[in-house]
A and B are shown apart, each in its own frame.
Chain A
């Protein structure tokens, strides 16, 4: 995030909340006038089991500093089994992301029921502070930077080499 270099770093967290529990809990937190850090962008899924690991990869690749997933407590899934699938995928995804150099604090799964507005508040505030301490991830910036190493040759082949070289043998 380029603006973060001029102003203080504000973590940008993408949150995937399930419709039946965590999203309702976030609603409850709002209605109850609970204050929490404004750093999360919530995306509502019908079930946390809808979370395709590609969503997490895409969020990081497009500039998220953290990804938070919220679902119903085990046993409480509206679709019976969805959150178990989430747990299985997130367990393996977390291991893989750590191997790929993404700090474990940047990726978090929490079970938050519809009545736990205070838990939304606590989890979001905690995560924002942890990520603030880690600093920006800024993958889009990193990707742009990595590709700078290719600019010179591209110009060389496509623009300066208009004439056929004399040493053609």
Chain B
């Protein structure tokens, strides 16, 4: 019997939603398991790191890695899977652009550790104990992974061949990717395996989008009951559709919620957040600085809004701290 191509799944700093999206293939998951051998999938199958280490280099046809890279363990697994796989695919927003975990790049590691282990209201830790990478108890020694200073997208750690975007990616994109992989019909290396068009182009409400949008007030989704037919941006909601890659069939907008940008930018955009800022700010009405400032105050958290899924891939990569981690020379 000929051996089937080997596939691996792995998760790093992620929520589990990407694993869920594999299961969301429903009956198609049988098509996948018929065609390939899953040799590693910690969420669902009992294979260990040592099993992967024992495989010859490049013997896995494709590894789909989701989650951002924050700890030394995730980093090591990314290197290991890169070495053992022919094709490495960044699966989901976190692996693609840093995702929600990437928002941690607004804080230094010390700020995070101090809050979590000392200042957090639900924490009782009088000795201010912190997890240690090495621990010795008699003759037993254990090691814990360490937290890196920065959250990184997968391609900031290892070379990545393809990206499947989304939080989580729709099952159709995964299915198409697997079919392309098995059929040897993959696009050029480095491609995002989703259409290169904006969410607006797939949005059913696009005809109601005015030529010129001029807003005197930005609204937040909980403040209004949005008209379910009309363009959300025209209703004052900061919908990120115009600057975000489609391929999701604009499902959030169908649910009457504005796009939050999980698919990342289209090709040729180097900084997704800057591009969002560009169009969103220019929709603010007024010509006087004070009016403009007032309107733009309706976006209380620019970093969290424009880089919700992509702070790790922002050209600045996160907040530049005056002292501490970023100034070590």
Interface string of A41-69 (1 = CB under 8 A from B): 00000000000111011101100000000
Residue of B nearest to A53 (CB): B274
Specify which chain A residues have a CB less than 8 angstroms from the CB of B208 in the assembled complex. Answer: none
Give the number of chain B interface residues (Cβ < 8 Å).
52
A3 at the A/B interface (Cβ < 8 Å)? no
Decide yes or no whether B114 CB sits under 8 A from chain A: no
A142 within 8 A of B: yes
Interface stretch, picked from B33-41, B59-67, B248-256, B312-320, is B312-320
Choice from B157, B277, B303, B316 contacting A61 with Cβ under 8 Å = B316
Contact: A95 with B320, CB < 8 Å?
A: no
Taking chain A's interface residues, is the majority helix, strand, or loop, or is none over half, making it mixed? helix
Say if the beta carbon of A33 comes within 8 Å of chain B: no
Residue of A nearest to B314 (CB): A57
Within A110-169, the residues touching B (CB, 8 Å) are 137, 139, 142-143, 145-147, 149-150, 153-154, 156-158, 161, 164-165, 167-169
A-B CB pair tally, cutoff 8 Å: 128
Q: What is the minimal beta-carbon distance from A100 to any residue of chain B, in angstroms? A: 5
Contact B50 A167, beta carbon cutoff 8 Å: yes
Interface status of A96 (Cβ within 8 A of chain B): yes
List residues 279-302 of chain B with CB under 8 A from any CB of chain A: 280-282, 284, 287, 289, 292-293, 296, 299, 302
Contacts of B328 in A (CB 8 A): 145
Given contacts A60-B315, A91-B289, A143-B317, contact A168 B296 (CB under 8 A): no
A57-B274, A164-B53, A165-B50 are known contacts. Are A88 and B316 too (CB-CB below 8 A)?
A: no
Contact at B277–A96, with CB atoms within 8 Å?
yes
Q: Is A87 an interface residue (CB 8 A)?
A: yes
In the complex, are the beta carbons of B281 and A168 less than 8 A apart? no
Tell whether A101 pairs with B322 under 8 Å between CB atoms, given A96-B303, A153-B79: yes
Given known contacts A61-B315, A146-B317, A157-B80, is B299 in contact with A92 (CB within 8 Å)? Answer: yes
- Contact surface of B with A, Cβ cutoff 8 Å: 48, 50-51, 53-54, 72, 75-76, 79-80, 83, 106, 148-150, 156-157, 269-271, 273-275, 277-278, 280-282, 284, 287, 289, 292-293, 296, 299, 302-303, 306, 314-322, 325-329
B271 contacts A89, C-beta separation under 8 Å: no
* Residues of chain A within 8 A of B314, CB atoms compared: 57, 100
CB distance from B141 to the nearest CB of A (A): 14
Query: Is A28 part of the contact surface with B, judged by Cβ < 8 Å?
Result: no
Residue of B nearest to A154 (CB): B79
CA distance in complex: A167, B48 (Å):
11
Pairwise interchain contact B326-A142, C-beta atoms closer than 8 A? yes
Closest to A137 in B: B320
Q: Which residues of B contact A156 (CB under 8 A)?
A: 76
Nearest residue (CB) in B for A95 is B302
Beta-carbon nearest neighbor of A155 in chain B: B79
Q: What distance in Å separates the Cβ of B296 from its nearest Cβ neighbour in chain A? A: 5
Across the interface, do A153 and B76 meet the contact criterion of CB distance under 8 Å?
A: yes
